[in-house]
Amino acid sequence: MPIRVFSAAVALGLGLTLAASGASATPNATAVPALTTASVATEVAVIAPLTVPSGSGGLIDAETLADYTDSLGLLTRQLDAVAGKPIAVAVDPMILASIRVLGTSAPESARNWLERLSLISNEIVPLSYANADPTLATQAGEASTLSPVSFDFALDPANFALPDEPGSGATADPMDVGTDVVPTYPTTEEILAWDYSIDGFMRPRASSVVSSDLAAFAESGFSTVVLSSKNVSRDAGAGSVATIDGMKALISDSTASAAMDEALGSTLDRDVTAAETALSSAVLSAGAAQSATTASVLIMIDHSLELSSARLDTALASLTASPSITLVPLTSLASVTASAATVVDMPQSDARLADFARLFSAAQQERTFFSIAADPEALIAQRRLALLDVLGTMPTEDPADWLTEVNGFLGDSGDFRTAVAVVESSNFLFLADRSFIPVSVNNKLNQAVTVYITVDPKTALLAVGDSRVELEIEANSQAKGNVPVQALSNGVVDVEISLSTGTGLAIGKSTVSEVNVQAGWETPIVLAFAALVVVIFGVGFVRSIIRRRKPVDD
C-alpha cells in the first residue's frame, strides 16, 4: 500500500511538471510579457515616413502635385494619418522642393498642404532626397552620399517676379516680367530648408549598412543615423541609442518595427488584432531585455506602406493600452545615454551595386558631354535629380520594377549623349585644289552648344588645313561648319568626321564619308565655261547685226 501511494504521488508530480512546461511552451503573445515585463517602464518613439512613388524624375510636376494634395490625394491622406499624433514624421525633401520651385504657379492645394505641414505638432526629420537609397553610392566607393546639385534649371522667372510696391495702384501679374522687374530666385539651400527636429539626421534603408558607410555619412554632414537592430551589435541590456565611430545611432527594433508594419498592412480584422497583440508583445519584450529601469524602443514604419489614419490610430492605441508603455517624442528617446555598439555589415547585393555602377558611369559620361553646353550645370543638376529618383525605387518582390527604372535612366542617358551629332551626308566631289568640306551638325538639346569638328583623311590624297574647326549651334537646331582641305592627288578617299569638346574629349560616334578628289579639273572647267559664255555672247551679237542689216519689206 505505501508503495502505491508513493507511485501515485510521483506520477502526479510529473504530470504537474509536464503541464506547466507545456503551458509555458504554448505561444501566447500577451500572457508572457504581461507576467514578465509589467514592472518595466518602456518609452517608445515611432517614425512614420511621408513619401511619394518614384518615377517623377526628381521633381513632381504641377499636375501630379495637384492630384497628390487634393482632398483625397496621396499626400493629403498621409498627412491626415500622422498629423497631431505622438509620432515623428520623416519627410522626403523632394516634396518640399517640388512645390517651392514652382513659385507662384504651384497649385493652391500644394501650397496649402505645405503650410499645413509646417503647423502640425509632430516632430519632423528628413529622409534622403527622393527617398534615395544612400548606401548604394557609399558602398560603390563614393566618399559621400549623393544629393541635389541645384534647382536653378527648374526656376521660371515668371513665377518669381517681385510684386508691385504697396500703394502703386497696379496689380501684379506674375506672368508679366518686364525689363524693370528682377525676379528673386530662391537658393538651393532655401528650396530644401526646413526646421527639422534633429539636425544631420540620416535614415538609410533597413539592414543595408556596412561599417565604412558611417565615414561617408559623416563626410556628407550627417551626425545621427537610424540603424536596424539586425544591423548592429551591442551589449546585452543596451538601449536604443548608441555611439558608433563617433556618430549617434538610433537603433530601431526590427521585431517591433515588423509587427507595426504588419498591424498597418493587415486587411482582415482578425489579422489586425493578432498583429496589434504581437506589436505590444514585441515592445514589452524589447523593454524587458534592457538593463535600465526605463527602457527605450524605436519603431520605424516601412517606407513602402501607405499610411491609413484608422490603422495607425488603432496600432498606437494598442501600445498605450499597456500601463508599461509610454509614447515619447523622438528627440526625448535620442537624448538618453548612449551605449557603445558596432555595425554588423549588411551590404547591398552585388546585383544592385553593379546596376548602380552602370548608372553612375552613365552620369559621369553625361557630365563630360554636357561640357559643350552653354550652361552645363543646369543639365548636370537635372540629371542628378533623375538619378536620385531611380535610387528611390522601393525594393519589391519583383526586381523588374528596379530594372525598369535603371534601364529607363540609361536609355535617357544615351539619348542625351547622342543629342549632338554629325549629320551623315552623301559623298563629296572635290574638283578644286583648295576648298572646304561642309560638315552639318545637329543639336537636339535645349541649349546652345559649342563643338569642334575634326576631319581625318584615311589616305594622303587630302591635306586638312585646320585640324579643329569650332562650330556653335543654337538650341534645337542645325549648323554647318566648313573644314579647309587641299587636294594632293586624284582619287577616292574616306574621311572620318568627328566632334570633340574644347578639351579634346570625343563626343558621340564619328562618321565616315567618301570624297572623290579630281584635282586639276577646276581650270579646264572654268575655261570651258568661259568659252561657252563667249560663244553665246558672240552668237547673240552676230544675230543682232544681221537683223539690223536686213532690209524692211514694203
Domain boundary among 321, 343, 365: 343
Contact 231, 243 (CB under 8 A): no
Instruction: Round to whole Å and give the CA distance between 314 and 300.
Output: 17
Q: Is 488 helix (H, G, I), strand (E, B) or coil?
A: coil
**pLDDT band for position 171 (50/70/90)?**
very low
What is the grid cell recorded at 375? 550652361
- Would you say residue 117 has pLDDT above 90? yes
Give the number of other CB atoms < 10 A from CB of residue 428: 17
The verdict on 241 and 337 lying in the same domain is yes
**pLDDT band for position 492 (50/70/90)?**
confident
Question: Averaged over 192-212, what is the pLDDT?
Answer: 97
Q: What is the pLDDT of residues 12-62, one digit of tens each?
A: 343 434 344 443 433 343 333 443 444 579 999 999 999 999 999 999 999
User: Is residue 308 in some structural domain?
Assistant: yes
Dihedral, 87, 220, 380, 504 alpha carbons, nearest 10: -170
What is the grid cell recorded at 100? 517651392
**pLDDT band for position 376 (50/70/90)?**
very high
Cα four-point dihedral sign 427, 429, 434, 440: negative
Cα–Cα separations (whole angstroms), residue 397 to 8, 302, 401, 494: 58, 15, 9, 54
Contact 489, 433 (CB under 8 A): no
- Report strand pairing: 88-91 vs 41-50: parallel
User: Is residue 220 in some structural domain?
Assistant: yes
User: Is residue 245 in some structural domain?
Assistant: yes
Q: What are phi and psi of 512, to 5 degrees?
A: -120, 130
What is the grid cell recorded at 214? 558611417
Looking at residue 461, its pLDDT comes to 84
Instruction: Round to whole Å and give the CA distance between 87 and 49.
Output: 10
The verdict on 325 and 430 lying in the same domain is no
What CATH number should be reported for the domain holding residue 463?
2.60.40.10
Contact 296, 304 (CB under 8 A): no
CA 114 to chain centre: 21
**Full-model pTM:** 0.83
* Residue with the three cell numbers 503650410: 115
User: Is residue 414 in some structural domain?
Assistant: no
The verdict on 102 and 209 lying in the same domain is yes
User: Is residue 174 in some structural domain?
Assistant: no
The verdict on 337 and 424 lying in the same domain is no
What CATH number should be reported for the domain holding residue 197?
3.20.20
The verdict on 321 and 427 lying in the same domain is no
Q: What is the pLDDT of residues 95-114, one digit of tens each?
A: 999 999 999 999 999 999 99
Instruction: Round to whole Å and give the CA distance between 211 and 247.
Output: 11
Residue 350 is given by DSSP the state H
Poorest-confidence range of 160-169, 323-332, 508-517, 539-548? 160-169
How many separate helices (H) and strands (E) can be counted in the chain? 17, 20
Question: Averaged over 322-331, what is the pLDDT?
Answer: 96
- For the chain, what is the domain count? 2
Which stretches of 116-222 are assigned E, i.e. beta strand? 124-126, 201-202
The verdict on 96 and 195 lying in the same domain is yes
User: Is residue 175 in some structural domain?
Assistant: no
User: Is residue 409 in some structural domain?
Assistant: no
User: Is residue 547 in some structural domain?
Assistant: no
Looking at residue 169, its pLDDT comes to 46
What is the grid cell recorded at 28? 501566447
Looking at residue 518, its pLDDT comes to 78
Q: Which helix (H) or strand (E) holds 482?
A: strand 477-487
Instruction: Round to whole Å and give the CA distance between 426 and 444.
Output: 22
Looking at residue 307, its pLDDT comes to 85
Question: Averaged over 195-220, what is the pLDDT?
Answer: 96
User: Whole-angstrom distance between the N-terminal and C-terminal Cα of the chain?
Assistant: 177
CA 329 to chain centre: 30
The verdict on 337 and 217 lying in the same domain is yes
Which residues are bridge partners to 530 per DSSP? none
The verdict on 113 and 206 lying in the same domain is yes
| SS3 per residue for 186-202 | CCHHHHHCCCCCCCCEE
Instruction: Round to whole Å and give the CA distance between 443 and 362.
Output: 20
What is the grid cell recorded at 107? 497649385
Domain holding 257, by residue range, is 40-151+186-343
The verdict on 322 and 465 lying in the same domain is no
Q: What is the pLDDT of residues 256-311, one digit of tens each?
A: 999 999 999 887 878 888 989 999 999 999 999 998 888 999 999 987 777 889 99
- Any idea how long the chain is? 554
The verdict on 312 and 450 lying in the same domain is no
Instruction: Round to whole Å and give the CA distance between 150 and 380.
Output: 9
Closest CA to 355 of 412, 311, 407, 413: 407
Closest CA to 128 of 153, 143, 101, 148: 148
Instruction: Round to whole Å and give the CA distance between 278 and 284.
Output: 10
Domain boundary among 298, 313, 343: 343
CA angle at 299 for the pair 298 and 301, rounded to the nearest 5°: 150
Instruction: Round to whole Å and give the CA distance between 522 and 478.
Output: 30
Instruction: Round to whole Å and give the CA distance between 144 and 213.
Output: 9
